């Protein structure tokens, strides 16, 4: 697997990626985010207040066998990693739908990164200034375990014409 567009941060000065720059099979790898118990319990307290996200002792009696981050927390961290360092799409990452799954729980000791691959590109027939790109992403921990799988469709602009009139 070739990491054709690796970037450790969006501030590296790399130019934004347009629809015209993408090819099926292109891969992007994000920077990293270290999880910890305080982040997991704070997110859970505000957005997903279930015992297995709030308290390690309570979580030990569940199928998780210990404190686990909310899947929505993993999804939020994934989004941040893609926006800040993993998927430098011109104009930002604008979602149009997708699927998520969490094959393994995210733990307080995990260091997350995201590996994304372009799986389909569809230029729009009705809106020539953009297209839809399907991206499959794996959020992995420091051991390479896949904690979240997502396949999403995003709106990606075409490169503007030199005169600013659009593609």
Please say whether the beta carbons of 167 and 129 come within 8 A: yes
Q: Which domains does the chain have, with CATH numbers?
A: 15-157 (3.10.129.10)
- In this structure, what token pair is assigned to residue 153? 């469709």
Give tens-digit pLDDT for 91-132.
999 999 999 999 999 999 999 999 999 999 999 999 999 999
Share of the chain above pLDDT 70, in %: 89
Please say whether the beta carbons of 27 and 165 come within 8 A: no
């Amino acid at each position: 697997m070739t990491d054709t567009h690796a970037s450790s941060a969006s501030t590296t000065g790399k130019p934004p990626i347009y629809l015209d720059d993408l090819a099926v099979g292109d891969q992007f790898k994000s920077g990293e985010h270290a999880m910890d118990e305080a982040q997991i319990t704070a997110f859970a307290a505000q957005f997903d207040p279930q015992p297995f996200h709030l308290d390690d002792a309570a979580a030990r009696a569940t199928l998780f066998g210990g404190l686990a981050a909310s899947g929505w927390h993993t999804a939020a961290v994934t989004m941040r990693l893609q926006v800040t360092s993993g998927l430098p799409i011109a104009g930002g990452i604008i979602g149009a739908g997708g699927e998520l799954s969490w094959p393994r729980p995210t733990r307080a000791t995990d260091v997350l990164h995201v590996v994304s691959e372009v799986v389909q590109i569809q230029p729009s027939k009705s809106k020539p200034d953009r297209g839809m790109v399907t991206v499959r992403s794996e959020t992995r921990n420091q051991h390479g375990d896949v904690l979240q799988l997502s396949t999403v469709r995003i709106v990606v602009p075409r490169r503007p014409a030199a005169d600013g009139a659009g593609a």
